[in-house]
Structure 1
Amino acid sequence: MSDELRIGLTTCDSEGVAESLAMGLVERGLAACVMIDKEVRSIYAYAGVIHDEYELRLIIKFAARNAEKVEAYLIAHHDYDVPEWIVLRPEHVSQKYLKWATA
């Protein structure tokens, strides 16, 4: 498992939070790379209200061995009460990229 890659997805409502989460994960060696997408439209129900908002999507690439630490960091530092956290297992990753991302 230590040499497997995971891709985590989350969203946040400001560039400041997105940058803080991304930098914190990379600086601590928990993630190899965090991509920040802009202008993702989210429509969702929360606390009985329908929301239609623009958010920033973070695509977090990390070694599987760090999965629990990445989630714990995200929960502790995210400003949402219930942050999105979805982890995907890629079907294939090039060996060079995998070696770099899981080093």
Structure 2
Amino acid sequence: MQSHTDFYLVYVTAADAHEALRLARMCVEKRLAACGNVINAIRSVFRWEGAVQEAEEAVLVLKTTGARLSALKDAIAAAHSYDCPCIIALRIADGYTPFLEWIAATAR
């Protein structure tokens, strides 16, 4: 594994598990992410259009590299049902080396 490769977890909220799964499949098929995990039925509280709202959503967690991050964010934003989707990238500080090598080999 090349030590200069940056790895990221990308946290995305979606309207439901179907949308999260669709986005995950799109990202993996395009090699923008090595894999995605869908967490169903979370409850979100947020301010939108001047009011506090609640909604049931799903979370998508993707694993990718720094080289693919920009294209990943663009693809999700273009395919997402929300006007302003939550797409947050968190740098992975450390991890199991064989798994990180797999991410590097898969998301390229």
The TM-score, its normalising length taken from structure 2, stands at 0.90
* Equivalent-residue separation in structure 2 for 1:44 and 1:2 (angstroms): 37
- Answer whether contact 1:37 1:58 (CA < 8 A) is retained: yes
Aligned to 1:56: 58
Percent identity over paired residues: 26
Structure 2: stretches of 5+ with no match in the other structure: none
Shift of 1:63: 1.1
Alignment deviations for residues 30-76 of structure 1 (CA, whole Å, 9 cap, x no partner): 10010000111100000112111111011011011001100000110
The TM-score, its normalising length taken from structure 1, stands at 0.94
* Equivalent-residue separation in structure 1 for 2:16 and 2:88 (angstroms): 19
C-alpha root-mean-square deviation of aligned residues, in Å? 1.3
Aligned to 2:90: 88
Structure 1: stretches of 5+ with no match in the other structure: none
* Equivalent-residue separation in structure 1 for 2:56 and 2:37 (angstroms): 17
Q: Which runs of 4+ in 1 moved over 4 A?
A: none
- Number of residue pairs matched? 103
